[in-house]
Structure 1
Amino acid sequence: HRYAQQAAQARAKGMAALSEVINHRGRDTQRKAMKTLLHGALILGISVMGLAEDHLAARYEQIAAQAKGRVGAASVVLEGGEETCIRCDEHFPMQSVYKFPIAMAVLARVDAGELKLDQKVAVSKNEYLADGAVSQLRDRSRDKDQTVELRELLELAVVKSDGTASDVLMRLLNNQAKAISGPYSVGAKEVMRFLASIGIDATSINVQDPEMALQKDWQVQYRNWMSPRGALKLLRAFHEGKGLSKQSHALLRDMLERSIRGEKRLKGLLPKETVMAHKTGTSGSRSGVTAATNDIGIITLPNGKHLAVAVFVSDSKGDQPMREGAIAALARLAWDEEVGKDPRVAFQKMYDEWLSLTKIVLYDGTELPKEKLRY
């Protein structure tokens, strides 16, 4: 009700100001009228945005329904914002999103002096993933073993989402580990230990199997899961530099910003110049159902703050444009909600639009060159 009253008042002020602009020739009067018009429009915009904020989760649900699957989404401004999420604590198959915490765990070992970025790592041809999975390592040396620097393995896993590279990274973690026990596969328990060290437990994220295991059994992918709230915890921990040196944090952030996957997901509807560090995850499809289409990341807002967004689309019968479109729309909604909270942004947008006008069209259809309006 309060927002409706503000909107009505703003509309009345705006219409009165427009009348002043059209009907008066006095320079001072028109300047004041134009100021009132812009101010009224700004109040109206803020009123509408304030009303929308109360229903942001409901708007997430409306968009999620278009993906024809189970959707979990979460967002928060990391500098003191309020969290919005749907299906906050449900488990969603990560697919390649899990390469993000794997890379963090490996870099923590580099910081501890147990691994070196320039060390040579032997990769056996038996470790190559089968065709159908993304792997530049496999494609460039199908029938031969090869030796790769650790830095390149990280680059391939994070930037290009190479599944063979991430499995080799998990193997390296195992080589440095003590006894591995329980249901966790090679290196996975070490990733879980790292996550626990930065305050993220197994109720938020579960890493259990390497990608090679996922290729062999459709159901295995559901054992590597993340909740939307767990994704925000991971993004916040990374943003705050937990568990990593400044050098390792900067290296991984650069890789995440250069990720070549998912251009139509979180990035899809954002301004082209937007800086975002993110990691995608994608499964195959079976019987018309795609198990996972995901993207999680940290978006730098125009005001310098950072918006963490995570979207998981699971068990969807929608096609790829539909699934990715839902992710893009959710990210844009979160972006607009936060950017719109800054009155300077809204005012600048309206002012820029005013400056771009070449003519004014009145209600009766009369066209009036803008230069004839003195303000």
Structure 2
Amino acid sequence: MDAKEKVLATMKEAGQPLNAGKMKIHQIIFNPTGGTQRVSEILLFLLLTFFLAYIQTTEVKGQSSYFSYGASIMNGELYCGHQEDSAFAMHSVMKFPQALYVADYLHKKGLTLSDSVLVNKDSLDAETWSPMLSIFEGMRYFTFAELIEWSLKQSDNNACDLLFASCGQPDAVEKYIHTLGFKDIHVQLTEKEMKKNPHRAIENSATPKEMARLLEWFYLHRDDNKNISFIWDTMADCNTGQQRIAAVLPKDGKLIHKTGSGFPSSDGRQDRNDVGIVLLPDGSHLSIAIFLQKSKEEKGVAEVAEQCLMRIQADGFLRNMPSDLQMP
């Protein structure tokens, strides 16, 4: 009898409908129905052998492609990762540490989110991803709050570069992030510079573990001041990447995140990233950072995220395994 048959047999013995075996992993773990907690424990135990081996592979198979990835997930003392100490290009994930720098810059300079900068549309790049271009002609003032919202919620490249021009260049952002203790995050290029030299995108890099650590810092400091709280609320309304981590959120879970996407290759492959904080229904949280390289499909991030959610639950389960399921 193989593992799948064992799972179905266990469910049948417990009176659980066999079609429940078609549930996704996160549905089984986070949404056990009444009276099935024991079944969930046994299901998880049987799946561990296969999952713990799978998460360590260097490639993940999607519907029609293979891609390499780095991932890190943290929850207090619980931690797991894959290639978590390798550097990956952040792409627009860079706008998250930039926003933290801007929050600090405004605070130190005595400026507020309501202060504004004058923007001339003719000075902006009309051939980059920039939804803000559609809302004005000529010149108009944008508040710092508006620029941060465009940059984080819509991943607007012009808004990002306006923040660089108004508050500090990439080296200033990197210096600030390093002073916080996150030295494996590097910011060297503006969006305009990355567009001009796509091969240099790796100069804006992070390791999955360091990004997860920065997310943990963000979680702990989210109420420090109005500027950081504003970034938190803005990332909670992020409009990009709905088929990434958001696609595998547990029921009633919430996501505070920032996505990033690389320049597509001739065969349609591109880097696809998503980093964020998952707020679970029980009040706990998970910090998760996923960086995919040369992926053909948007759902690749969701596949890795689902594995990570399974893994962190598995680690917690192993630490508190019922005695009758422990190996002699």
Q: TM-score range by the shorter chain?
A: 0.7 to 0.9
Structure 2 SS opposite 1:236? helix
Q: Contact 2:72/2:289 (CA < 8 Å) preserved in 1?
A: yes
Q: Which residue of 2 aligns with 1:164?
A: 158
Larger Rg: 1
Which one of the candidate residues 89, 92, 95 is aligned to 1:93?
89
Identity of aligned residues (%): 23
Q: What does residue 226 of structure 2 align with?
A: 247
**What is the aligned length?**
294
Of 194, 205, 230, the residue aligned with 2:176 is 194
Q: Give ranges in structure 2 of 5+ residues lacking alignment.
A: 16-34, 319-328
What secondary structure sits across from 1:73 in the alignment?
Answer: strand
RMSD, aligned CA: 3.1
Q: Which of 163, 188, 211 is the matching residue for 2:191?
A: 211
Separation in structure 1 between the aligned mates of residue 87 and residue 62 of structure 2, nearest angstrom: 16
* TM-score, normalising length: structure 2: 0.78
Q: 1:92 to 1:130 in 2, by over 3 A?
A: farther
CA distance, structure 1, for counterparts of residue 10 and residue 270 of structure 2: 51
The corresponding residue for 1:27 is none
Q: Secondary structure at the match of 1:122?
A: strand
1:74 equivalent in structure 2? 72
The letter of the residue matching 1:226 is A
1:216, 1:304 → 2: CA distance? Answer: 44
**CA distance, structure 1, for counterparts of residue 104 and residue 290 of structure 2:** 26
Question: How far is 1:272 from its partner?
Answer: 5.8
1:311 aligned residue (287, 290, 296): 290
Is this contact kept in 2: 1:281–1:293, CA < 8 A? yes
Aligned to 1:152: 146
- Aligned-pair CA distance for 1:288: 1.9
Matched, 1:301 2:280: yes
Alpha carbons 1:67, 1:313 under 8 Å: kept: no
1:40-86 C-alpha deviation (Å, 9 max, x unpaired): 63442242255456436326844579653332222122x2212222x
Match of 2:263 among 257, 260, 284: 284
The equivalent of 1:120 in structure 2 is 116
Listed one character per residue, the Cα deviations across residues 251-292 of structure 1 (whole Å, up to 9, x for unaligned) are 111111100000001111324632000000113323225442
**Secondary structure, aligned partner of 1:108:** helix
Distance in structure 2 (CA, Å) of the matches to 1:91 and 1:114 = 35
Any idea what the Cα deviations from partners look like across 1:172-229, whole Å, max 9, x if unmatched? 223xxxxxxxxxxxx111101110121111xx11111111112222223222122212
Equivalent in the alignment of 2:104: 108
* Alpha-carbon contact 2:60-2:66 (below 8 Å) kept: no
CA pair 53-128 structure 1, distance change in 2 beyond 3 A:
same
What is the identity, as a one-letter code, of the residue corresponding to 1:136? Answer: P
CA contact (8 A) 1:231 1:310 kept: yes
| Cα separation, 1, equivalents of 2:146 and 2:286 | 29
206-215 or 219-228: which moved more?
219-228
Quick one: distance in 2 between partners of 1:98 and 1:270?
23
Find the aligned partners of 1:162 and 1:309 in 2 and give their Cα distance: 23
Q: TM-score, normalised by structure 1?
A: 0.69
Out of 58, 61, 81, which is 1:84 matched to?
81
Provide structure 1 residue ranges, at least 5 long, that are not aligned to the other structure: 19-36, 175-186, 344-375
C-alpha distance in 2, partners of 1:97/1:313?
Answer: 12
**SS of match in other structure, 1:249:** helix
Give, in angstroms, the shift of residue 336 of structure 1.
Answer: 3.5
Q: Does 1:334 align with 2:308?
A: yes
